[in-house]
Amino acid sequence: QVQLVESGGGVVQPGRSLRLSCAASGFSFSGYSMHWVRQAPGKGLEWVALISYDGNKKYYADSVKGRFTISRDDSQHTLYLQMNSLRTEDTAVYYCAKGYSYSDDWGQGTLVTVSS
């Protein structure tokens, strides 16, 4: 069955960087586009970024454009989110999700807390 396991979250100071990972299994990872979606504590869902199945197309929410970079390593079946210049408003649970349009599989999320 499909498994998506996020890691790399933690507490980080404003202005610093963090890299999230999402390890995928149970499906042909290289054939699927992948998303990052986040959820601030007690708030709704916010789409963050998508990378196409071949890595050639990347899209970002305006709120993270220029600061976050999505990437993938198909040989490791892993999705990444490099987060630079972190702000307190980036505090959230970050989910990876499979699919280009809708997402039928999601990980359980990793919590990122940006605080001094």
> Shortest distance, CB of residue 115 to another protein, whole angstroms?
22
| Cβ proximity to another protein, 19 vs 65, nearer residue | 65
| Cβ proximity to another protein, 33 vs 78, nearer residue | 33
Rg of the chain on CA atoms, in Å: 13
> Shortest distance, CB of residue 75 to another protein, whole angstroms?
26
User: In b/e form, how buried is each residue of 15-24, taking b as 16+ CB within 10 angstroms?
Assistant: eeebebbbbb
Residues of the shown chain interacting with another protein in the complex, contacts defined by CB under 8 A = 35, 37, 44-47, 50, 59-62, 95, 97, 100-104, 106-109
SS3 88: helix
